[in-house]
Amino acid sequence: MKRRLVLKQLTAASLLAMSGWMPQLMAAEDTIKVGILHSLSGTMAISETSLKDVALMTIDEINANGGVMGKKLEAVIVDPASNWPLFAEKARQLIAQDKVSVVFGCWTSVSRKSVLPVFKELNSLLFYPVQYEGEELEKNVFYTGAAPNQQAIPAVEYLMSEDGGGAKRFVLLGTDYVYPRTTNKILRAFLHSKGVKDSDIDEVYTPFGHADYQTIVANIKRFSTGGRTAVISTINGDSNVPFYKELGNAGLKATDVPVVAFSVGEEELRGVDTKPLVGHLAAWNYFQSINNPVNTAFIEKWKAYAKAKNLPNANTVVTNDPMEATYVGMHMWKQAVEKAKSTDVDKVIAAMGGQTFAAPDGFTIEMDKTNHHLHKPVFIGEINANGQFDVVWKSKGPIRAQPWSPYIAGNEGKQGL
């Protein structure tokens, strides 16, 4: 009888081990596998689920146009559940187990930093579509989101200009993690270079998921009595909703103290009543309200896709900057693969530099030849009562990224890989 127990244990253990072999035993079709590494549950699901859907839509579009080098693309979706260690594990699974040729994924800088060692070790490719703090340049990553000089710095320049309100005092309000910390470090140095003193800068951090902004809004009011004030908000994700609600209710209007946010887009505004927020700002490289044929087609495609696939709330889906970046990144990767005539990572990396694409933001943007970042135009938009943004300023053309910010000491020598 005990022997049977031992036999049972052995069987169970070997079954467990075999589960690791199973995927390899399954017949492989002639497709190119594309990994999608976005959180579908947890705190980041709010922002990342739509990126997964846009990626799938783009794959369908590419397949409908003949695929890549004649082969169809096949999506491999995993859910790292907003859990950073799980991101690393899922990345390893996608590359080592599922043998994907490229991964589109990540949102928070933490998730990107935790998967980076995996991509370096296994020499695979990651396309990262979200605005971030810079201070990074990896051979295995292509950054299709904005670096600080493509988002944060132009936004502060606008705030200091007459059109933006001529702000003299600044409240740097952010969630406590690497992106706001680094961005604020860069902005502080930038403000110093423009003659703003430390006594006119107030830096405040709140944890993820913080919901009670009463004290902070009262402090902003008090701070603003010292001179024309603007708030630069790097609050992440869903903490923006209680912050804006408190702002609106406390009567702090955009004409008194404008707030520019870097992590608030059309998707985040879906959960807010925007009437009290009219006039507050956001800075991105794309807005849904930009009027041009490519964008109109992009929005139509996305709405049709949402309805066809019965996504939740399909009637009110919106497009935003990271979605556009995913779309552009995927097309550029396809172009690079076709140019390199192979999905081999090193060849594709070499072929990516210089790729161009007519993007929904209205410009033909280019992947820089050396620094793995896109040249992106900058738009500053004001929130309107419909949850969309009215563009109030835009750069003349795409701006080249500076991943190593010149405002941080020690970056002078670094520009390329």
Partner 1 sequence: MNQAATLAAPPSLHPALMTRRSLFSPQAWLGLLVAVAFLAVLPMANLVFAPDHPLHISSYAVALLGKFMCYALAALALDLVWGYAGILSLGHGLFFALGGYAHGMYLMRSIGRDGVYQSDLPDFMVFLNWKTYPWYWWGTEHFAYAWFLVLFVPGLLAFLFGYFAFRSRIKGVYFSIITQALTYAAMLLFFRNDTGFGGNNGFTDFKRILGFDITAASTRAGLYWITLAVLFGALILARVITQSKLGRVLTAVRDSESRLRFIGYDPLGFKLFVWTLSAVLCGIAGALYVPQVGIINPGEMSTENSIEMVIWVATGGRGTLIGPIIGAGAVNGLKTWFTSVLPEYWLYCLGLIFVLVTLFLPQGIVGLVRRIMRHREERRV
Partner 2 sequence: MHSAITRVWYRWLAIGLLAVFAHTAGAAAPGGVDAAMLAPLAASDTDAKLVAIAALGQLPDPAAARVLEALNTGALFATPAGRVLIGPGSAGGAARDPIDGSTLAMPADASAITINNRLRRAIAGALAASRLFADDVQVRLQAAQRLQSGSDVALLPTLDAAREKEQHPAVREALDIARANLALQSDDPARRRSAAELLGNTESAAFRPVLAALATPRADGSFAETDASVREAAVNALKQIDRHQALIEWTGNLFYGISLGSVLLLAAIGLAITFGLIGVINMAHGELLMIGAYTTYMTQTFFRQWLPAWIDWYVIAALPLAFAITALVGMALERTVIRWLYGRPLETLLATWGISLILMQAVRTLFGAQNVEVSNPSWMSGGVTVLGGLVLTYNRIAIIVFAALVVFLVWLLLNHTRLGLFVRAITQNRRMADCVGVPTGRIDMLAFGLGSGIAGLAGVALSQLSNVGPDLGRGYIVDSFMVVVLGGVGQLAGTVIAAMGLGTVNKFLEPYAGAVLAKIIILVLIVLIVQKRPQGLFAPRGRSVE
Binding site for partner 2 (CB under 8 A): 40-41, 43, 45-46, 49-50, 162-166, 168, 176, 205-207, 209-212, 214-216, 218-219, 221-222, 225-228, 238, 241-242, 245-246, 248-251, 254-255, 258, 267, 270-273, 276, 278-279, 311-313, 382, 384-385, 390, 392
The residues in 353-372 that bind partner 1, with binding defined as CB under 8 A, are none
Of 94, 95, 65, nearest in space to 77 by CA: 94
The residues in 30-69 that bind partner 1, with binding defined as CB under 8 A, are 40-41
CA distance 290 to 270: 18
Q: Shortest approach of partner 1 to residue 293 CB, angstroms?
A: 36
The residues in 167-196 that bind partner 1, with binding defined as CB under 8 A, are 176-178, 181-182, 185
Q: Which stretch binds partner 1 (CB under 8 A): 62-70, 79-87, 240-248, 279-287?
A: 79-87
Query: What is the DSSP secondary-structure string of 32-46?
Result: EEEEEE--SSSTTHH
CA distance 52 to 89: 18
220 contacts 187 by C-beta, under 8 angstroms: no
362 contacts 290 by C-beta, under 8 angstroms: yes
If one asks whether residue 11 binds partner 1 (CB under 8 A), the answer comes out as: no
If one asks whether residue 229 binds partner 1 (CB under 8 A), the answer comes out as: no
Q: Which stretch binds partner 1 (CB under 8 A): 76-84, 159-167, 257-265, 360-368?
A: 76-84
Q: What x/- string results for residues 235 through 274 when contact with partner 1 is judged by CB under 8 A?
A: ----------------------------------------
Q: Between the CA atoms of 141, 144, 145 and 147, what dihedral angle is there, to the nearest 10 degrees? A: 70
Question: Helices (DSSP H) in 233-276: which residue ranges?
Answer: 240-249, 266-269
202 interacts with, out of partner 1, partner 2, none, CB within 5 to 8 A per kind: none
Q: How far is CA 147 from CA 61, 243, 309, 361, 395, in A?
A: 28, 25, 33, 17, 15
> Tell me, what DSSP letter sits at residue 233?
E
If one asks whether residue 135 binds partner 1 (CB under 8 A), the answer comes out as: yes
Of 292, 285, 293, nearest in space to 326 by CA: 285
83 interacts with, out of partner 1, partner 2, none, CB within 5 to 8 A per kind: partner 1
Q: Which is nearer to partner 1, 94 or 257 (CB)?
A: 94
Q: Shortest approach of partner 1 to residue 233 CB, angstroms?
A: 17
If one asks whether residue 417 binds partner 1 (CB under 8 A), the answer comes out as: no
242 interacts with, out of partner 1, partner 2, none, CB within 5 to 8 A per kind: partner 2
CA distance 246 to 216: 9
Phi, psi of 339, deg, nearest 5: -70, -40
Q: Which is nearer to partner 2, 67 or 242 (CB)?
A: 242
Q: Which is nearer to partner 1, 88 or 337 (CB)?
A: 88
Q: Shortest approach of partner 1 to residue 393 CB, angstroms?
A: 29
Residue whose structure tokens are 């470090």: 185
- For the chain, the straight-line distance linking the first and the last C-alpha, in angstroms and rounded, comes to 64
If one asks whether residue 160 binds partner 1 (CB under 8 A), the answer comes out as: no
Q: Which stretch binds partner 1 (CB under 8 A): 203-211, 237-245, 265-273, 348-356?
A: 203-211
Of 305, 307, 272, 277, nearest in space to 381 by CA: 277
Q: Shortest approach of partner 2 to residue 78 CB, angstroms?
A: 16
CA contacts within 13 A on the Cβ side of 124: 26
Q: Is 202 helix (H, G, I), strand (E, B) or coil?
A: strand
